Amino acid sequence: MDYLAETLANGITVRTCRMEGTHSITLILILKGGAAWESRGQKGITHLVEHLCFRRRDGMNQEEFYYKIERLGAYLRGVTSRDRVLFELTVIPERLGAAADVLGSLFEENGWTREDIRREKEVVFRQLEDGNDYCLETMISDFFNHAPAGEPIAGSRKKLERLTRPQLEAHKAELFDSARCEIILTGPITPDHTRYARKRFSRLVKSASKKLADITPERFLAREARHDRLFTGEADKIKIGLTFDIDTSKITPIQAELTRGLLCDGLLTPFAARLREELGLLHEFQNNLEFYDFGGLLYFIFGAREDQAAQMMDEITGILARQRERLDKRAFECVGAAYTDGMAALFDSPRRFAYELAFDSGISTPQSYIERNRQITYEQLGETAREIFRSRNMIASINDVPLDQELMDRLYEKKELLRNTLPR
C-alpha cells in the first residue's frame, strides 16, 4: 500500500492511501474549527452550518442535491465534533471525480434562503429533543470549567432561533479555512484519482487564516474534590460519571485507547466481567475518549439502581485501584488481539480506515496501524493506567440522585473514598 501526503499552495493538506483489493473509494473533507471556539451566544452554529451545507448546493435545492448523490450510488455523511467538522463521500472508483466536485463545491456560497434556514433549524430542534444526553453534557461542561468550549455541540433551541442568515454565512466562511483543511482519500485509488483530487482542491481560494484560541481548561490536570458534582433528580437509575484528564505529553492517544479498551471492551474486561456478568449491577454503560491539541479526556458513565449505587461505587473504586497496581493479564491479551489481529477488517474497508487516518496522526497505512499497536507492551499500559487514574486527573459527577439526604451523604462518602483511594 502506498501512502502520500502533500500540502497544496492554498494550505490544504491531501493525504492518500492506496488500498489494493478494495472496491470503493472514501473521500473525507476535514475542517478544524467550529464548536469549541463558538461564542456562548452562538452555540450550535457550526452544527447548523454543517446541516445547511446539504440544504442547498450548486444552485440546487436539497431534493435536487440528494438526487444527484443518490444517482452516484454514493454514501454521504456530515459530522460535527467539538473541534472538527467532517464531510464524507464513499463511491465506486469511476465516480471519484464527481465526489471530489461535490466536496469541493461545499466551499462555495450556498445561497441559503430564509426558508432553508427555518427548515433546517426545525430538523436540529427535533435532534435536540431526541438526543440530549444531559449526564455526558454536564461532565464535558465540568471538564471545560463551564467555559463556552464545553457547552453542547448542537446548542439550544433558544440560541439557534436567534441565529441569522448573515451570521451563518459569516461562520461558514470562517469554518472553511483552507489552511485548516485536510482531504483524506482511501481505497483502490490510481495516480489519476490523486491528480484529479489535487487539481480540484488546488482551485480553491486560499483563506485568510484566523488563529484559533487556546481552549485548554483552566484546571486541566489539577482537579480537586470541590470540582466534583452531585445532581438530584427523578429517574429510574442513578448515573455515576467519571472523567480523567489525559496528559498527551506523557501518554499517546493509542495507549489511552488501549487502556480504555482493557477496562471496557469485551466480556473479560474488568468493568464488564465484574459489574455486569458477575454482579449484575451494570444497567447502562458509556465510555469514550476525546482528544484536542492540549490533551484529552477519558470518560465513563455507569447506570445503577438506587439501591445498588453505593455498591457500584465500591466496585468501581476497587477495579480502578487494581488497574493501577496490576493490569488484568487476560484482558490485556484480549484487547491486544482486538487492536491488532481484530483490525484486519481495516484492509477491506477504505471507509473505516479513512476515519482512522482522520483521527490518528501516528499512522499511514493499515499495516502501520496494526504494527504500531503490536509494539505496545503490558508494562507500557500499566504505566499508562498509573498515569491516568489519579485523583488530580479526575472529576466525579453523580446524577439523578433522589432527594434522600441519607443516600446523598452515603454516595458523597463513596465518592470521597474513590478520590482518596487513587493517589494524587
Cell of 15: 493525504
- What is the model's pLDDT at position 366? 96
Question: Are 81 and 152 spatial neighbours (Cβ–Cβ below 8 Å)?
Answer: no
- What is the model's pLDDT at position 209? 75
Domains of the chain and CATH, by start: 3-202 (3.30.830.10), 225-421 (3.30.830.10)
pLDDT in tens, 283-319: 888 999 999 999 999 999 999 899 999 999 999 999 9
Q: CA-to-CA distance for 415 and 400, rounded, in angstroms?
A: 15
Q: Please say if the pLDDT value at position 382 is more than 90.
A: yes
- What is the model's pLDDT at position 192? 94
Q: CA-to-CA distance for 54 and 60, rounded, in angstroms?
A: 10
Quick count: other Cβ atoms within 10 Å of Cβ 166? 8
- What is the model's pLDDT at position 119? 93
Give the per-residue SS3 of the chain.
CCEEEEECCCCCEEEEEECCCCCCEEEEEEEECCHHHCCHHHCCHHHHHHHHCCCEECCEEHHHHHHHHHHHCCEEEEEECCCEEEEEEEECHHHHHHHHHHHHHCCCCCCCCHHHHHHHHHHHHHHHHHHCCHHHHHHHHHHCCCCHHHCCCCCCHHHHHHCCHHHHHHHHHHHCCHHHEEEEEEECCCHHHHHHHHHHHHCCCCCCCCCCCCCCCCCCCCCCHHHCEEEECCCCCEEEEEEEEECCCCCCHHHHHHHHHHHHCCCCCHHHHHHHHHCCCCCEEEEEEEEECCEEEEEEEEEECHHHHHHHHHHHHHHHHHHHHCCCHHHHHHHHHHCCHHHHHHHHCHHHHHHHHHHCCCCCCHHHHHHHHHCCCHHHHHHHHHHHCCHHHEEEEEEEECCCHHHHHHHHHHHHHHHHHCCC
Q: CA-to-CA distance for 174 and 209, rounded, in angstroms?
A: 8
Count Cβ neighbours within 10 Å for each residue of 176-192 and write b for 16 or more, e otherwise: bbbebbbbbbbbbbeee
pLDDT in tens, 140-185: 999 999 999 999 999 999 999 999 999 999 999 999 999 999 999 9
Q: CA-to-CA distance for 392 and 246, rounded, in angstroms?
A: 11
Quick count: other Cβ atoms within 10 Å of Cβ 379? 9
- What is the model's pLDDT at position 90? 95
For residue 304, which of 396, 240, 230, 233 has the smallest C-alpha distance?
Answer: 240
Quick count: other Cβ atoms within 10 Å of Cβ 350? 25
Quick count: other Cβ atoms within 10 Å of Cβ 323? 23
pLDDT, averaged across the chain: 92
Cell of 223: 482537579
Cell of 381: 499500559
- What is the model's pLDDT at position 269? 83
Quick count: other Cβ atoms within 10 Å of Cβ 112? 18
Q: CA-to-CA distance for 164 and 161, rounded, in angstroms?
A: 8
Cell of 411: 454516595
pLDDT in tens, 341-380: 999 999 999 999 999 999 998 899 999 999 999 999 999 9
pLDDT in tens, 260-281: 999 988 777 888 888 888 888 8
Q: CA-to-CA distance for 155 and 47, rounded, in angstroms?
A: 8
Q: Please say if the pLDDT value at position 23 is more than 80.
A: yes
Question: Are 262 and 269 spatial neighbours (Cβ–Cβ below 8 Å)?
Answer: yes
Q: Please say if the pLDDT value at position 130 is more than 80.
A: no
- What is the model's pLDDT at position 278? 83
- What is the model's pLDDT at position 266? 76
pLDDT in tens, 65-123: 888 889 988 888 999 999 999 999 999 999 999 999 999 999 988 889 999 999 999 99
Average pLDDT on 219-237 reads 90
pTM of the entire predicted model: 0.91
